[in-house]
Amino acid sequence: MSYLLGIDVGTTGAKALLVNEKGDIVARSSHEYPLHTPRPGWAEQDPADWWQATANAIRDVAGAPGIRAAEIAGMGLSGQMHGSVFLDAQNEVIRPAILWCDQRTADQCDWITRAAGRETVVAETCNPVLTGFTAPKIVWLKQQEPQAYARVRKVLLPKDYIRFRLTGEFATEVSDASGTSLLNIRQRKWSKKMLAALELPEDWLPPVFESPIPSATISAEASRLTGLPAGMPVVGGGGDQAAGAVGNGIVTSGVVSVTCGTSGVVFASLDSPVMDEQLRTHTFCHAVPGKWHVMGVMLSAGGSLRWYRDALASEEVALARRMGVDPYELITAQAATVEPGCEGLVFLPYLTGERTPYPDPDARGVFLGLNLRSGRAQMARAILEGVAYGLRDSLEIVKEMGVKITQVRASGGGARSSLWRQIQADVFNTELVTITVDEGPAFGVALLAGVGAGMFKTVEEACEKTIRLKDRTQPATANVATYELFYRIYRSLYPALKPLFADLSKAVC
């Protein structure tokens, strides 16, 4: 029996997933780590925490009962996109990594757009420069922490730092590199024009691979620390969204995924790099060689519900601990007692700014319509509905781009809740389908590793042989009209509040 290992270096923790050639999960492990917010709008993590959690998770699955580590044929790496790991000449981390949801770089985005020219930015990268992306973080370091910048010799994305720790080699791949504002999306290689405009040496960046191509092998030191066989191949892997799409079978045109993780993503595979005329969505290289994808991204989807859990649901958390259940089960059970439309309570899920359809780092979360009847149940349901409205924003743009949609697949933590799936089906007015494996990016990169190891000829074949449909959620006709009304109200809120968001941002700076 041969196995494949998928690693996902996420925002909340690292996951290791071991699968067999049929796609069956044979072992899994995850370890959490903290996220630090030293200032409003900032988000950082210590790469050492990623490494410790990843090593622990790998040891767990490699040493699981009945598993012989020597039978693991290959590994794929995924992780949160856009984060910046700065290394010095000794390959030591210079400062905490700045994450995808960090919003400190609005001025640097404007600076890059001026320095390179907007036409060049769009022609080379197929996207505007956004605060979450990597290049603005590099410029921020140069402008705000020049002593640290002077020490930089390598800039890595989160999963690629873990690759370095596992293999001793520097490498990345096209899907994750697409979110740096430094990759030529059409040519699938680093953009010399963008690097020149920013005065960045190309050797600061690792070589770029296609996602299923072996990029390095497990080092003897990493073998000793993790139990993996030395010399085992590690493929390019994928950014979390592209890898998650592979894990959901979104590798051909027509099938679209809606993912509710910390962020929320609507994802469609493309045969060519098509862009939204207003640049509200992202066009990136897919983890499938020769393909691209379009995605709309909201920054605080499941993250909004996690905020609610941590800030307002201490009673539910304590009760869940006593009952031995997930706190989200109790929170969504409360939300289910409230009628659709939430008695006029509407939530804007912009807790960390927003990207699609409003690339605005100043946008903030809002409850509109609070009254004396409003309690935790109403607020919880309003969050579920508000996230669904935000995901619909992206789905509508994808349709406007002429992307044919034949099926919508729900994934991520949000897809585990039957209530949240029903709300999304009602808000989208479309059937939602789930698959038998809901392990997202870790499963996707395990399949990529299978292609690299020769178990499958192509990524499409890997998905066809391992992914099976599970459940279908139909929209409830009675709820569709209600949500259509409240979606229109939701859509009117951001334009009305935009100037106030800017004023608030200035007031707290």
Catalytic site residues? 240
Query: Which two tokens mark 104?
Result: 């400190």
**First vs last C-alpha separation in the chain:** 58
The residue count of the chain comes to: 509
SS3 221: helix
Q: What is the DSSP letter of 417?
A: -
**What is the number of other CB atoms lying within 10 angstroms of the CB of residue 30?**
17
Q: How far apart are CA 474 and CA 488, in angstroms?
A: 22
Going by their DSSP bridges, the two strands 72-79 and 3-9 should be labelled as parallel
Give the Cβ contact number of residue 90 at 10 Å.
Answer: 7
Which residues, 6+ apart, have CB-to-CB distance to 227 below 8 Å? 58, 59, 62, 63, 69
* Residue where the block lists tokens 């209530």: 419
Give the H or E element holding residue 58.
helix 47-62
Type and span of the H or E element at 399: helix 376-400
Helical axes 106-116 vs 134-144, angle rounded to 10°: 100
CA distance 365 to 41: 12
Helix (H) or strand (E) holding 247: helix 240-247
- Candidates 299, 413, 405; CA nearest to 353 is 299
